[in-house]
Structure 1
Amino acid sequence: MRILLVEDDLLLGEGICTALRRGAFAVDWVQDGTSGVLAMRDGEFDLVVLDLGLPRMDGIEVIRQVRAVGNQVPILVLSARERPADRTAGLDVGADDYLGKPFDTAELLARVRALIRRSSGRAQPTLEAGALQLDPATLGATWKGRSLDLTRREFALLRVLMEQRGRPLARDTIQRHLYGWNEDVASNAVDVHVHQLRRKLEPAAIRTVRGIGYALGDLTGSVS
């Protein structure tokens, strides 16, 4: 899952990025409102975390412009503004949730997970497919009843495949969900992650779709 952070406070922004990456999210970070609008215009994100008090363009105007062109990406507003009118303004122009500053990072992550779950139409907090279960809150995973030891990116890869179950995903699409703009990525990174997951699950668990990329395969626990 890929998240855009729009926050001009350097210390806070670094802390949020660290927390989100520990939660197995890929994060891109911009520091002003205009850059936020441009990023949402040019990139595909699963969620946006947006400060209101931004240089170049206020967060309220960012939301207004994004919604005006039909972009329905979930937006979580962050703000130190304390008046109720300030808090509700973002929600009224199209934000999906609001979190006041200061905040606990555990609550931030819980709200992020809830918004992503809501936007995908899921009611349950866990992801299940056959004998595989993922818990985004704990980054825990079980396969045929036993715990899996997954890296953060292995977990993220399984999560995106499960969210898009039944649909093959191109390698580039998967890569965008695993890595941010400024991260060094080997050309075969996705293939390496898939190889490691097949070893931890079984070869049939992830299908290679020729000419496209990968999709979930047989998750019943039997090898095909």
Structure 2
Amino acid sequence: MVRILFLEDEPTIKEVLTEYMQLKQYDVTPTENGEEAIKILEKQDFDLAVLDIMVPGKSGLEVLSHIRSQKPDMAAIMLTAIDDEPTQVKAFNLFADDYVVKPVSPIILLKRIETILRRTKGSDKKPAKTDGLYLNEEAYQAFYDNVSLQLTLSEFLLLQTLKKEAHRVFTREQLILKIFNEDYIGNDRIIDAHVKNLRKKLPCSYIRTVIGVGYQFNEENT
């Protein structure tokens, strides 16, 4: 059974979303305090965390930082009413797998959880190809020489989009629509943050910057 840590201090939201997740047969551990969330994480293992940012005690971002330092393979979704770009960039720089702005439909949240779990739960699948860059689209995982690159969902979707149309130069606005659909609110420079993090994980220069336009997949390294 999938185990989810749910950090949310608003009683109604916590109750409703917990109930929806349990209806999907997820084992949910709800808490409303950031420090308590960290204590729970030190005692138990989870597949995914859904973290509100503004909560009593340590913030959701501090809990995310703890997860990345102690349990780097654990997935995390930030669930928050804060929709400003600096906060979103900070969350993605801490390798959040998704960022959902409240109010959120429980059904949409469940779909995002399902997508992320499909990626992380499939991360132990070995790709058929063992040399160079390989994208397992079913598992939402990228591999290089058969080793997982440990990409977040947004990073994977960015790389997948560029690689599928390697001849094309994408603008930042076009990449936002490919990755977030119409859910993202903020400056298009969020793509630059994703590219920066993605380049740190890629062993070769697979992403080319086209000055004044955007980004393109670099086929010279394939």
Per the shorter chain, which TM-score range? 0.5 to 0.7
CA distance in 2, matches of 1:26, 1:14: 14
Unaligned runs of 5+ in 1: 126-224
SS of the equivalent of 1:11 reads helix
Structure 2: gaps (5+ residues): 124-136, 140-222
Q: Indicate if the aligned counterparts of 2:119 and 2:138 stay in contact, CA closer than 8 A.
A: no
Once the two structures are TM-superposed, the CA of residue 35 in structure 1 deviates from its matched residue by 1.0
- Residue matched to 2:24: 23
Q: Which residue in 2 is equivalent to 1:46?
A: 47
Counterpart in the other structure of 2:91? 90
Aligned residue type for 2:68: R
Query: In the alignment, what sits opposite 1:6?
Result: 7
1:123-138 superposed matches below 5 A:
123-124=137-138
The question of 1:109 aligning with 2:110 is answered yes
**Secondary structure of the equivalent of 2:115?**
helix
In structure 2, the partner of 1:72 is: 73
**Residue 59 of structure 1, CA deviation:** 1.1
Structure 2: how far apart are the matches of 1:53 and 1:96?
Answer: 18
Q: TM-score, normalised by structure 1?
A: 0.53
| 1:123-144 C-alpha deviation (Å, 9 max, x unpaired) | 549xxxxxxxxxxxxxxxxxxx
**Aligned partners of 1:87 and 1:81: how far apart in 2?**
8
Letter of the aligned partner of 1:12 in structure 2? I
Identity %, equivalent residues: 26
Matched residues, number: 125
Match of 1:217 in 2: none
CA change 1:93–1:124 in 2 (3 A) is closer
Matched, 1:81 2:82: yes
Q: Aligned residue for 1:56?
A: 57
1:145-187 CA-partner distances (Å, limit 9, x unpaired): xxxxxxxxxxxxxxxxxxxxxxxxxxxxxxxxxxxxxxxxxxx
- How far apart, CA to CA, are the structure 2 residues paired with 1:6 and 1:71? 18
What whole-Å deviation, never above 9, does each CA across 1:66-120 have from its counterpart, x for those lacking one? Answer: 2122442100110101211112211111211111100111110000011111102
Q: Distance in 2 between matches of 1:42 and 1:92?
A: 26
Query: What is the one-letter code of the residue matched to 2:73?
Result: Q
User: Normalized against structure 2, the TM-score is what?
Assistant: 0.53
Alpha-carbon distance in structure 1 between the residues aligned to 2:39 and 2:48:
15
The SS at the match of 1:99 is strand
